[in-house]
Structures are given as C-alpha cells and as structure tokens.
Amino acid sequence: MSTTFGATSTTDEVLDGIDLTGKRALVTGVSAGLGVETARALAAHGAKVVGTVRDLAKGRAATAGIPGIALVEMDLASLASIRKATDALNAKGEKFDLVINNAGVMACPRGTTADGFETQFGTNHLGHFVFANRIAGLIEDGGRLVSLSSSGHRFADVDLNDPNFETTPYSEFVAYGRAKTANALFAVEFDRRHKARGVRAVAVHPGGIMTELGRHLTAEMRQAMLDNIARSRPAGAPAYEWKSVPQGAATSVWAGAVAKAEEVGGKYCEDCHVAAFIDGGDDGQMRGVRRFALDADNAKALWAKSEEMVGERF
C-alpha cells in the first residue's frame, strides 16, 4: 500500500495515473459536497458513474459538469423509495465495480424517517443497509464497497436495545455516533459475507469538511467541537484544520480504487491509510478507530437487528 498519501492529499492526487476506463461506479448523494467531488474525480479518470439523489433537479444542477453521469432518484429516508430505485437498477442489470455509500445527515434535531426510524440511524445506516444489500448482486466479483463512517463514531456505540431513542434521551451527537458506528460495522459484516467472491467492503472517515452535511450545526455547536478538540490536543501538536472537499473525498476514492483490497477489506480508513485503534484519549485531531466499530460480533448483531427493523433478510 502506498504511503505517499495523507490528510492533505486530494482526489486527483490520489487517482493520478489511475485509468478507470471500463469501470462503473455508483455513488449515493451526488447533489452536493463529497458526493459531487467523488463522482467528478472518478469520471475524470474514465469511470462511468451512476449517482443517487433525493432531488433530481438539484442533482442535475450539481453534476452538470460531470460527463456521462446518470442519476437515479432515491430518498434514503424512505424504504419505498430505496426499493423502487434498487428495483430499477436490478432491472437494468448493469454491473458495478465500485459502490460508495456516501450520502448522509448529521446532528439533526430529533425526527423520524418515513418508516418511523430515528432520522440519523434510519437514513445513514438502515437506508444504505437496504440499498447496498438489494444491489449486492450487481457488484462485480472483485468489486468493492465503501461505507462512509466518521470520527464521530467515537461518540457512541450502536444501541440495539433502543435504536430509535424510545427510552434513551435524544442527543444529536449520540445519534450521529450510533449511525456512524453502524456504517463501520456494516462494512465489517458485508466484507465477511462477500469476500469469498472477491468483493471487499471498507469504512472510511473523510475528515472534517465544511459541507451541507453540517447544515444543522449552529455556530455555537461548531465552536464547541473545536474547543473540545483543542482541549485534547497535546502540547506542541498542530492545531486542527478543516479539509477541503477534494481532500475530504480523497480517502473514499483511495479506498475504492487505489488501495489493495486485502489491506483495506473489513477495515476503517482515514487520511488515505488504514486507521489505528484508539483506546485512550484523542490526540486533538480525532484520529483512529474505536474497537467497538470493527467488532465482528457487534457487526453480526447489528446486521440481524437491521434485518428485523426493515423487514427484509439478506
């Protein structure tokens, strides 16, 4: 695995010299931010890209500069919408070499999806859980699935006894942490189930980026996050820096199209490398992965609970 890339690497730097001609990629959430940049970078290096969007008009405007991109309407907060979209994809039968579960919501006020799931867990995890599993047969043998997690996973492990906060007091960041842990655990179990045919799954943390994902964060919430990071930073360590969008999307394309499958399959990656486990305090940069987010038994239990919640077995 290359050690050339790091936190400041961009999508084009990571893909420099990579020819994706003949490859097909599917990216969820291509109407803004990381999704648009991920799709742009893959297409720029020859891949045929299909993107999912909740709002087709917004998606068309956002991807107008990406040659050849095809859009599929899909709302991850609605199982009916997901099933309609995946039925259409399966009917076409076109295969994918890479699927990137990129879309998501962050730290939103308490709410529920169309099916009554807590918004963040329902959209970020359950929506992608149903989506990816229903099109798993379209992933080419030897293909790859990338699941966008976050350093925010460290806020909370999944709670399989109360996933919808029915008895637990709701907290925006606890809910986000649960959902992002679920995104990592999904990659672990998807990888285990599909690696016999060469399909590998990997979770990634893109880094801290100012995108539409943070639309629900107030100025006070953003400052509190930065203050917390600053307090945990060792003396002499550099100050935390936000990434640009091309830097934020770099780990997704690195893990999906550049890194060796056997080195990233079932792992959690950040800054274009496999992350180390973190058992103690933060280093001021929110690096590393908690063990509960890659625990195989935790991943299997989440999978079973997710099937129960959505009423579909995979």
Q: Residue 222 domain-assigned?
A: yes
Q: Residue 4 domain-assigned?
A: no
Q: Residue 5 domain-assigned?
A: no
State the pLDDT at residue 226. Answer: 55
Alpha helices by DSSP H, listed for the chain, are 11-14, 33-44, 56-62, 79-92, 119-120, 128-134, 172-194, 219-232, 245-248, 250-257, 261-264, 296-310
Strands (E), the chain: 24-28, 48-53, 70-73, 96-101, 139-148, 200-205, 268-270, 273-274
- At residue 67, what is the residue type? P
Residue showing tokens 């918004």: 119
State the pLDDT at residue 56. Answer: 98
Q: Residue 247 domain-assigned?
A: yes
State the pLDDT at residue 1. Answer: 45
Q: How many domains does the chain have?
A: 1
pTM above 0.75, yes or no: yes
Q: Residue 198 domain-assigned?
A: yes
Query: Which one from 81, 149, 151, 252 is the annotated catalytic residue?
Result: 149
State the pLDDT at residue 116. Answer: 98
Query: Which one from 176, 252, 267, 268 is the annotated catalytic residue?
Result: 176
Length of the chain: 314
Tokens of 30: 């291509």
Whole-angstrom Cα distance, residue 234 to residue 145? 35
State the pLDDT at residue 197. Answer: 98
State the pLDDT at residue 284. Answer: 56
List the beta bridge partners of residue 146. 100, 202
Nearest to 183 by CA among 139, 138, 132: 132
Whole-angstrom Cα distance, residue 183 to residue 244? 23
44 near 23, Cβ under 8 Å? no
Each residue's pLDDT expressed in tens, for the chain with a length of 314 residues: 445 899 999 999 999 999 999 999 999 999 999 999 999 999 999 999 999 999 999 999 999 999 999 999 999 999 999 999 999 999 999 999 999 999 999 989 999 999 999 999 999 999 999 999 999 999 999 999 999 999 999 999 999 999 999 999 999 999 999 999 999 999 999 999 999 999 999 999 999 897 555 555 566 655 655 555 555 555 666 665 779 999 999 999 999 999 999 999 999 999 999 999 998 665 555 789 999 999 999 999 999 999 999 999 99
Q: Residue 176 domain-assigned?
A: yes
How far the first Cα of the chain sits from its last, in Å, is 32
Strand duo 139-148 + 96-101: pairing: parallel
Query: Which one from 23, 180, 243, 267 is the annotated catalytic residue?
Result: 180
Residue 74, domain extent: 11-310
State the pLDDT at residue 287. Answer: 87
Active-site residue flag, 176: yes
Whole-angstrom Cα distance, residue 304 to residue 118? 18
> Residue 230 — φ and ψ, nearest 5°?
-65, -40
Q: Residue 73 domain-assigned?
A: yes
State the pLDDT at residue 4. Answer: 84
Domain of 77, CATH number, reads 3.40.50.720
DSSP H or E run through 224: helix 219-232
Q: Residue 286 domain-assigned?
A: yes
